[in-house]
Amino acid sequence: MFRLRGNLRRAAFADFFSPANQTAVSLRARQFPDKQPKRQSSGKRFNVPHSAEFVARVSGIPTMARLPYQDSADGLDAAFIGVPIDTGTSNRPGARFGPRQIRVESALLRAYNSGTRAAPYESVMVADIGDVNVNLYDLKETCKRITEAYRKIVATGCIPLTMGGDHTITYPILQAVAEKHGPVGLIHVDAHADTSDVALGEKIWHGTPFRRCVDEGLLDCKRVVQIGLRGSGYSADSYEWSRAQGFRVVQVEECWFKSLAPLMAEVRAQMGSGPVYLSFDIDALDPGFAPGTGTPEIAGLTPIQGVEIIRGCRGLNLVGCDLVEVAPAYDTTGNTALTGANLLFEMLCVLPKMKYY
């Protein structure tokens, strides 16, 4: 079993058996006495998730990675937040339940990244801040609510790590992010370009977010890369519009049977030091690995390649990330939500200020 490093593990053990915790009035302290915020040698306190060494994974109310919950981004360097909508979906609905199931499956996550030796809970103050209060009956109203919620998050300096929800949500999120940072670079991992203009008379749905972002000047188009695009299309060149804007388009055929580490070295050079947003649609992965999604396309990326892409973002000026389109109803084993939870953890582990052992 992967073990917490010395200082956190000893502190957890001491907290768990301390007399003060036996009489604590806080329900959280009574249930989870082992994982209150810990003070590091620098004097700064960080939230530490509950460890299965001391508190069973089946215990407690699910939060992302078993982190503490708080109702705002105040005092946080990063925050997990859910946006449970699927009213922009064009095929199978169900992504509104994605954030909830990702939280459930994230109980399996531990405190350290054994592959990269990242120590997120010794590096950034992070918590789960719940869900945006969406309107399931009015997509445009929900987009307004998302933008307003994210304005408040980014105003504090907090980096949002978002659990979707369908891909519509990236558009209102980027409205708030670009308001603070200016036009951002974008690393977009997906089976679909999501650059359609209109369908059934509507301009806002999960096939249009990046078209709307370009319309509003939210993206630095020379720093946009789309990875994993594939499937049948409405024209012979489904990605002509993307290329015309200056996007780099990496179709899935360019990714088959190879490591994507060399590609990500090129992407890092392209992104430079400017602000970058990472948007990862779970349907970028082959449905054999991630069946729980609304618009699956065969012959996709592997989870290994997905991890390579995210780890390849290390060193970038990431100002936000999202993981979208997990639809648990089609995910009979829970593997899609589990994969989504792990990819979100990988995103946390490449944020600025991350400490590595």
Q: At what angle do helices 303-311 and 261-271 cross, to 10 degrees?
A: 30
Q: Are 223 and 261 in contact (CB under 8 A)?
A: no
206 DSSP 8-state letter? T
Interhelix angle 303-311/335-348, nearest 10 degrees: 20
138 labeled binding residue: no
The verdict on whether residue 194 carries a ligand-binding annotation is yes
71 is in an annotated binding site: no
Cis peptide leading into residue 288 (ω within 30°): no
Q: In this structure, are residues 180 and 154 in contact, taking their beta carbons and an 8 Å threshold?
A: yes
271, 316 contact by CB (below 8 A) = yes
CB proximity list for 180: less than 8 A, separation 6 or greater: 151, 154, 155, 319
322 is in an annotated binding site: no
CA 357 from chain centre, in angstroms, equals: 23
The answer on whether 15 is annotated among ligand-binding residues is: no
The 8-class DSSP code of residue 157 comes to: T
Terminal Cα-to-Cα distance of the chain (whole angstroms): 18
Residue 192 assigned ligand-binding role:
yes
Q: How many residues make up the chain in this entry?
A: 357
Q: What are the distances in angstroms from CA 161 to CA 83, 242, 258? A: 11, 25, 28
Tell me how far apart the alpha carbons of residues 321 and 170 are, in angstroms, rounded to a whole number. 9
Q: From the annotation, which residues make up the binding site?
A: 167, 190, 192, 194, 281, 283
- Residues in the annotated binding site for Mn(2+): 167, 190, 192, 194, 281, 283
